[in-house]
Every structure is written in structure tokens, then in C-alpha cells.
Amino acid sequence: MKYTDISEVFAKGVALAGREVTVAGWVRTARDGKNMAFAALNDGTTLRHLQIVLDKSVIPADALSACLRSGAAIEARGVVVEAKTDAGGYEIDASEISLIGECPADYPLQKKYHTLEFLRTVPHLRVRTNTFNAMLRVRSKLSFALHRYFQERGYTYVHTPIITGSDCEGAGEIFRVTTNSYADAKACANEAEYIARDFFCRKAGLTVSGQLEGEVAAMAMGRIYTFGPTFRAERSNTPRHAAEFWQIEPEVAFAKLPDIIAIAEEMIKYVIRAVLDECGEELAFFEKAFEPGLRAKLESVAGSDFAVVDYTDAIRMLKESGEQFAFPVEWGLDLQTEHERCLTEKLIGKPVFVINYPKKIKSFYMKQNDDGKTVAATDLLVPGVGEIIGCSEREADYDKLVAAMTERGMNLDDYKGYMELRKYGSVPHSGFGLGLERMLMYVTGVGNIRDLQLYSRTPGDLMA
Ligand code: 4AD
Ligand code: MG
């Protein structure tokens, strides 16, 4: 490539000073003065814009008028010099600029600031704002750090299927996968015929979690993780729920609940440390624009122990807190976001694993505790977000698993292979799922999941 990255110009400014470079990018803002003009250029390699200084006695007027427009893609050649501004850094004294892609005046991002709500209406352009520029880089670094954490510890990365015939969470929130048309449906006398006519000749859907197949892999490979998109047709229109989100899901053979809790805590701290070390510029931006004290929060979390609280104690603490809640607090009921946040933000003041939930409100695959009432499951709750991890030891006993599935009215035929894992060399094993976007909410302070994905998918919203 003949172009120097803008990140390089800033990083190697001392060495590059006085040398000629050619850069290319999109104009963020342009200023036209009497003798001089300026373009702030961004090429996506850094949050920082490179100032292109244009001497009007050097640069032809027609090149200037085409290039000095927000959104235009341009190329600039010139000498790297120390910036004369207070912010310091480097800029380019341009000897030549040329237009690569014009940008007419109807470009929607003319203003310096746009609301996140407005930006959601232009997903193909919002990536050109500082917020999305920073978010995508943190998302990339965070994802890579998650891979690194597991790779460094001997986990095998497995790719679990996206199309499945099972419902891991049993919540009936599956997106159906079908090749049947409306006309096919009308031609069928009943559902059995409709399904028989379909591509797989059985009900199929997009996976809600890679866990069930992850367990299969762990029963041979010992320690595995999956990292991919998962899908939920949840109608909950909240800032925390997306119909398509990414999950990282480790599954560990021979691990019990306390073992997997230790892994989850270590992993969270590891990736927070990575973001602190590798995304300084982005964190400074998020701290300023979204969450004051963000860096100090992350430093503190990376360096302190998480709490562990029994569900039964959590219910008691919430009842005794004197807080008014919209939803009831009662043993046997699920914790709502308001309860989760009260626990982690007010009552405990740091990330907390709530353990041993009532079995009736949790999934069929969780290990049943000896008390007959609870399961060896935990959610990790963090201030500002609520649940970011769902985790459990898995039921490794064939008969207990069948009983739990039968109680829930599940079709055992759909889970034959999964059940057989409990027949052939069954071992205790545990795993969890971390929602990548929930983790991003936590490390960036951005409050709505719709702004942490390149494209967000929520009920009634499928922007292209
Ligand atoms: O708690 P969940 O439903 O757990 C599972 O899917 C398990 N099978 C995971 C496992 O043990 N392997 O989901 C796990 C995490 C949640 O804690 C949350 O962070 C995220 O996935 N999540 C969502 N994120 C965004 N939008 C949604 N609709 C989400 N539903 C769950
Ligand atoms: Mg959960």
C-alpha cells in the first residue's frame, strides 16, 4: 500500500517528522480560511483525526472545493510536521490532495454531534462517528482477548452449529428456519404435513446457545469454547436485549460449580486488563462521552475479588433493603434487572455471582442440588448492566436429567445424543455463556445494546 496509516503518523511521528507521506481517509470536518484550509481526516486506524493543512497558494482551488467536504474520501500527500495546536501531535503540510470519492451536501452526518437514536437510522454511516469507531475497535480487541485467554490455557475452539433442532434454554424463543413458502403452508392440511415438506423434515431453528453441542465436544476434548452468534426471538424491547448477539461459551470437563466460577472471574479480569492496556484512547473517549470514572471502575474490578451470594440470601437482602421495586421479590421468583442492579450496585457494590437458584426458574440441564429445590447455577451480575454471564454445573446423571426434561414437557427424542453423554463416560462438567455485547456495555459505559453492534437486530427492526 502506498498509504501510511494515520495511527502510524501519530505513533511514529518523531521518526516521520520532516518526511513525506501519503494518507487516505474520509474528511470528518473541513475549515476554509483566507489563505489556509484544514481537513480533519480519519481512516479508521485510530480515533484521532489527522489534520491536513492546505496552503491555498499551493493547492488548486478545484481540488480544495471537492475535497473540503464532510464525508469525502480523499488522498493527501505532504510532510509530517509537529502540530501547532495545544493538543500537540502531528499534522500534514500537504503539497497535494486529490478526491477519491465525492460526498454531496446531502450527506447525513454533516453536524459534529448526532444522537445515538438518529445514528440508528443510518447504520451504514454511523460507523464513521467517533462512538462507533471506538466501539468497533474495543469490540475487536475484547473478542481477541477472549480468544487469547482460552487459547493460552489449552482450550480448543469449536464451531457449534447455527441451525439446530433443540432449544437449549427451553424458553421457546427460537427463530424458525424453514424453506416452506406461504403457498406451501396453505397447501398443507396440518402441521405434521407442513414439517414433513420442509427442508430438514423436522422443526429447525437458529441456535440460542452453543452449549449443548459444546458439551458434546467437551466430553472428548476436555476444555473447549465456542464463540459465535446466537439468536433469540425475545420480544423484550429493552436496552439489554438483542435478537442476535454474540456469546463466548466455554465448557469444561471434570469442573464443578466453584471451578467454573473461578474461571469466569479470572477470564473477566483478564479481558478487562487487556482492554485497559490496549484501548487507552478509546476508554478515554468513552469516559468523557458516556461514563465518568470508567477507567477507575475497570482498574478496580480487574484488581479485586468478586462476591458470591446464595440466591436465598440475595432474596433476603433485597427484602430487607427497603427499596421499592416494580416486580415482586419472593423466593422462587426470578430476579429482574431492577433486583440484579440493586444487588450489585447498592447492596454489594461490585460484581457478584448469585448461586443456587430455584430449579423451577432455571434450565433443564443444570445440576440439581441435594436439597431438591435448587440447582448449581450462577449468574454474574455487574453494576450498570446486571447479568452478563449465565453459568452452571451440568446435570451429569442420566435419570435426573430425564426427570428434569420430563417435568418440563420436553420432547426427549430431540435430545437423544445429549442424553447419551450421561450414559457413556459421564463426568461432572460445567460451563457458562458471556454475552459479548453485555460485556461491551460494561467496559464502554454505552447504555444501549443497539449501539454496540454494527447492525442491531431487535423486534420490528431489521435495518440494512
Ligand atoms: O443466561 P443465558 O441464557 O445462558 C445460556 O444461554 C447458557 N446456555 C450459557 C452456557 O452456560 N453456555 O445467556 C448467557 C448470556 C447472558 O448472561 C447475557 O450476557 C447474554 O448471554 N444474553 C443476551 N445478550 C443480549 N441479548 C439477549 N437477548 C441476551 N440473552 C442472553
Ligand atoms: Mg441467563
Reported as a single tens digit per residue, the pLDDT across 91-102 is 999 999 999 999
Reported as a single tens digit per residue, the pLDDT across 36-50 is 999 999 999 999 999
Which pLDDT score is estimated for 169? 86
What percent of the chain lies above the pLDDT cut of 70?
A: 100
Residue 441 CB–ligand 1 contact under 6 Å: no
Reported as a single tens digit per residue, the pLDDT across 309-367 is 999 999 999 999 999 999 999 999 999 999 999 999 999 999 999 999 999 999 999 99
Q: Cell numbers at residue 123, please?
A: 447504520
pTM above 0.85, yes or no: yes
Reported as a single tens digit per residue, the pLDDT across 112-158 is 789 999 999 999 999 999 999 999 999 999 999 999 999 999 999 99
Least confident of 234-238, 251-255, 312-316, 407-411: 234-238
Which pLDDT score is estimated for 285? 98
Which residue lies with its CA nearest to atom 30 of ligand 1? 241
Q: Cell numbers at residue 14, please?
A: 518523531
Residue 245 CB–ligand 1 contact under 6 Å: yes
Reported as a single tens digit per residue, the pLDDT across 79-91 is 999 998 777 889 9
Which residue out of 206, 209, 234, 267 has the highest number of ligand 1 atoms within 8 Å of its CB and is therefore the one to mutate?
Answer: 209
Rounded mean pLDDT of the chain? Answer: 96
Q: Cell numbers at residue 195, please?
A: 414439517
Spatial separation of the C-alpha atoms in residues 133 and 279, rounded to whole Å? 12
Q: Cell numbers at residue 297, please?
A: 471502575
Backbone angles phi, psi at 456, to 5 degrees: -100, 145
Residue pair 249/214 in contact by the 8 Å Cβ criterion: yes
Backbone angles phi, psi at 189, to 5 degrees: -80, -30
Type of residue found at 16: L
Spatial separation of the C-alpha atoms in residues 130 and 153, rounded to whole Å? 35
Q: Is the pLDDT of residue 200 over 80?
A: yes
What 3-state DSSP class applies to 297? Answer: helix
Reported as a single tens digit per residue, the pLDDT across 20-38 is 999 999 999 999 999 999 9
Residue 68 CB–ligand 1 contact under 6 Å: no
Residue pair 15/33 in contact by the 8 Å Cβ criterion: no
Which pLDDT score is estimated for 85? 77
Those residues with Cβ within 8 angstroms of residue 410's Cβ, 6 or more apart along the chain or in another chain: 170, 364
Q: Sorting pLDDT into bands at 50, 70 and 90, what band is 225?
A: very high
Q: What's the rounded mean pLDDT across residues 107-115?
A: 90
Which pLDDT score is estimated for 176? 95
Which pLDDT score is estimated for 86? 75
